Amino acid sequence: MPKYVIERKIPGAGQLTTDQLKTISQTSCGVLNTLGPQIQWVQSYVTTDKIYCVYNAPDEEMIREHARLGGFPANVISKVSTLIDPTSAE
């Protein structure tokens, strides 16, 4: 299944409390349950004013539907073409 990185511009994201992040996560998981197993949230990285999320999904439209139903921005959606890590240097 294709992997996507989603950039969500959320001013002050790095200042969100643990409870606020929990609520956001619960909302996301609720939408994922509604959409079914074809879309999976892998992980997210919270920075100062953005959240970068990694998802597995059949297509970009599924990512957009998740964002729409959850009320999340999806400012940039990029399909991952290749994954590299330190073992790629071997």
pLDDT digits 0-9 by tens, 16-72 = 999 999 999 999 999 999 999 999 999 999 999 999 999 999 999 999 999 999 999
Kindly report whether the global pTM for this prediction surpasses the value 0.75: yes
Helix (H) or strand (E) holding 7: strand 3-9
Q: How sure is the predictor about 3, in pLDDT bands with cuts at 50, 70 and 90?
A: very high
Q: What residue ranges define each of the domains in the chain, with the CATH number in brackets?
A: 3-83 (3.30.70.3090)
Torsion over CA: 82, 6, 27, 44 (sign): positive
Backbone φ/ψ region at 32: left (φ over 0), alpha (ψ -120 to 50), beta: alpha
